[in-house]
Structure 1
């Protein structure tokens, strides 16, 4: 049973408050790099929020801090109003690359998190099968990751995260490696599954179209170092949404123009910095 004590409905699911994250390089004596600076980001329970920004601007750093995989240098993380200490056990994390165990079948991969939580094998197997069916892979439970296409591996990874029924879902560019058709199918599947359970989602993407088509709100980050939010946009497109159809709506085009005007300069700055590093 989820713990519903002490959570009034005004609580944010996830709050990153005045987060600064500075890394010290290993080789150069004490040289520091501030990836994220004075960043505050709040996500309501049931809200789908996307974060966009230039390459290398610290988007994944923020996600790792929200997951409790990385500790910020300054600031605080709160989960449903409680300070986060260690790993965020109320969050499920979907990585950019599949975190599937190659020696486990699709079903065994989906069951794994449940088994770690002490769910008996027979029950974990039954729940795992239900989730595979929900993501359209009911027939493929006995296949190993190398026997699945990229889209099927993503579906398996999604089932693995959702089987744990997390209150918060953290997604780090989960569909960037997929072809456009598979990607749109996956985006719609995520929206359908999200609409059924209304979890808080923090979604990191490079793709502004994807961010607008899926989200309630889009946050734009500046180029690094010291990335921070420079714009926030409410996405008032009606739901339920089909991501391909949403892109044809005049309101979508207007939002895209508005957000891109803020993002474009940062992308150019980020690009110039990447070139400097290469040179």
Structure 2
């Protein structure tokens, strides 16, 4: 019997109350079915406003869909997805806590004894290259260091599913590539299920087992699902120079390009 998928989104729709005209409503996503297998790394790409983050919030249990079913390892998801860790695009570190204190926080909230929480947090800071910076506060760390601390903060809880919302988008290209390789190394060690949201097609291909393409909104839906058959382990800078990477990029961009243009025109229309 096949193992249950880590995440199953089945015919999901999310509709929100709109602004302006009374009763106006906006459907962000509709007829979305998406599966992430246990240990699988899946990225979702699409134009701005296509509901990528909405789907991530549904998988996290932070948002109940207007229609459809969400399952986590075969069981219906009700409320927060406690088997998932969420790494946000925005800064998630508490400014009044040190790097060590931030990484310890989730363990403390779970009732882990202080000495054990400290030991686990220190071990994870070493794994992400911050072993000597546990006493630093967020304002004393670079952007890359804060992202490393956020990664440790998420992974120290040992989630079965990792949800990531454009976590490296604010970093410079060199730091971003270092963080992407760090993520791949940590993921390879335990092979957790990952649902990764990004605007960057290069990043999606370099990291993933599969790339799902969303249409432009409103009522965005998946319009492409591509298997990434690049060998692992990967270096994200080197893999981008291989012929197979270029072939995959061309194939996915062929589907994505028109949707990006549609999304851009919609943005222009709203700005006018």
Same fold (TM over 0.5): yes
Consecutive unaligned residues of structure 1, counting only runs of 5 or more, are 1-7
Which residue pairs with 2:68 in the alignment?
Answer: 75
What is the Cα deviation at residue 56 of structure 1?
1.1
- Pair 1:183 & 2:171 matched: no
Q: Deviations over 1:210-269 (max 9, x none)?
A: 000000000000000001000010000000000000001100000000000000000000
Which residue pairs with 1:160 in the alignment?
Answer: 153
Which residue pairs with 1:29 in the alignment?
Answer: 22
Q: Secondary structure at the match of 1:139?
A: coil
Which residue pairs with 1:203 in the alignment?
Answer: 196
Q: Secondary structure at the match of 1:146?
A: helix
Identify which of 109, 121, 144 aligns with 1:116: 109
What is the Cα deviation at residue 168 of structure 1?
0.2
Identify which of 100, 119, 142 aligns with 1:126: 119
What is the Cα deviation at residue 30 of structure 1?
1.4
Number of matched residues?
Answer: 272
Q: Secondary structure at the match of 1:138?
A: coil
Which residue pairs with 1:16 in the alignment?
Answer: 9
Which residue pairs with 1:3 in the alignment?
Answer: none
What is the Cα deviation at residue 10 of structure 1?
2.0
Q: Partners of 1:86 and 1:9 in 2: how far apart?
A: 26
Q: Partners of 2:73 and 2:216 in 1: how far apart?
A: 29
Q: Partners of 1:12 and 1:70 in 2: how far apart?
A: 20
Q: How does 1:1-279 map to 2 (within 5 A)?
A: 9-25=2-18, 27-279=20-272
Q: Partners of 2:160 and 2:21 in 1: how far apart?
A: 41
Q: Partners of 2:201 and 2:139 in 1: how far apart?
A: 31
Q: Deviations over 1:143-174 (max 9, x none)?
A: 00000000000000000000000000000000
Which residue pairs with 1:4 in the alignment?
Answer: none
What is the Cα deviation at residue 65 of structure 1?
0.4
Q: Secondary structure at the match of 2:171?
A: coil
Q: Tell me the TM-score normalized by structure 1.
A: 0.96
Q: Partners of 1:45 and 1:186 in 2: how far apart?
A: 23
Q: Partners of 2:33 and 2:53 in 1: how far apart?
A: 15
Q: Partners of 2:22 and 2:123 in 1: how far apart?
A: 53
Q: Secondary structure at the match of 1:210?
A: helix
Q: Secondary structure at the match of 1:236?
A: coil
What is the Cα deviation at residue 27 of structure 1?
4.8
Q: Secondary structure at the match of 1:263?
A: helix
What is the Cα deviation at residue 28 of structure 1?
3.3
